[in-house]
Amino acid sequence: MATKVSIVNIKDFNTEKEAIIEAIKLIKKDFSFDLHDCKKILLKPNLLRATENACTRPEIIEGVIAYLTQENISMENVYIGDSPGQINTFATNIAKKIGIFEICEEAGIKFVDFEREVPVNDVIDGAVKLKDYYVSKIVKECDLLINMPRLKTHGEATITGAIKNYWGFIPGGLKAKFHLLGKTPLQFGEVLADNFA
């Protein structure tokens, strides 16, 4: 299946929210699913730490929520969550500091701290490095996952695009353990690709 990309000029819109809604509409006809059939939708932002340019911007969250609202999706079916992977750090706390938690709370979206739930053991068929690992329960339960990464560089792989945001599926300290499977940029790329599968 070919990947569809939509690009809009933000200057053509009054708000970022409007630009995001239009960008999604441009690729809507290419969706391989019906939003209304999805009983559980998970929004997966990047909530690494509460510093500038480290996380998904609140405006992105607002835009996606606004699109789902326009499509008459019940917010009772929408969840948001992440796992920062740092000791005693929860996604909820980061989301509160950068303004995302309030946006979700107002919309009626449930926040899930991946560290606070018991992870599910998963085996990745055809994996190169990450064959047997643990993933957050809601990731396995959701019908639709909306990946909302933050574009940034990466110390071990230079740049990972949107795929590194899936690393947040792995709860807490397990991330550090699985990081050891990729000691070079190529090896770490293989680990990321396995996790993406």
**Which residue shows structure tokens 């326009």?**
70
pLDDT for 3 equals 82
- φ/ψ (deg, to 5) at 58: -55, -35
Superfamily of domain 33-196: LarA, N-terminal domain (3.40.50.11440)
Contact (CB, 8 A) for 116 and 90:
yes
- CA gap 26, 117 in Å, rounded: 36
Looking at the DSSP assignment, which residues form a beta bridge with residue 79?
A: 42, 110
> For the chain, what are the domain ranges?
33-196
pLDDT in tens, 138-166: 999 999 999 999 987 777 777 777 888 89
Q: Per-residue pLDDT tens for 123-141?
A: 888 999 888 888 999 999 9
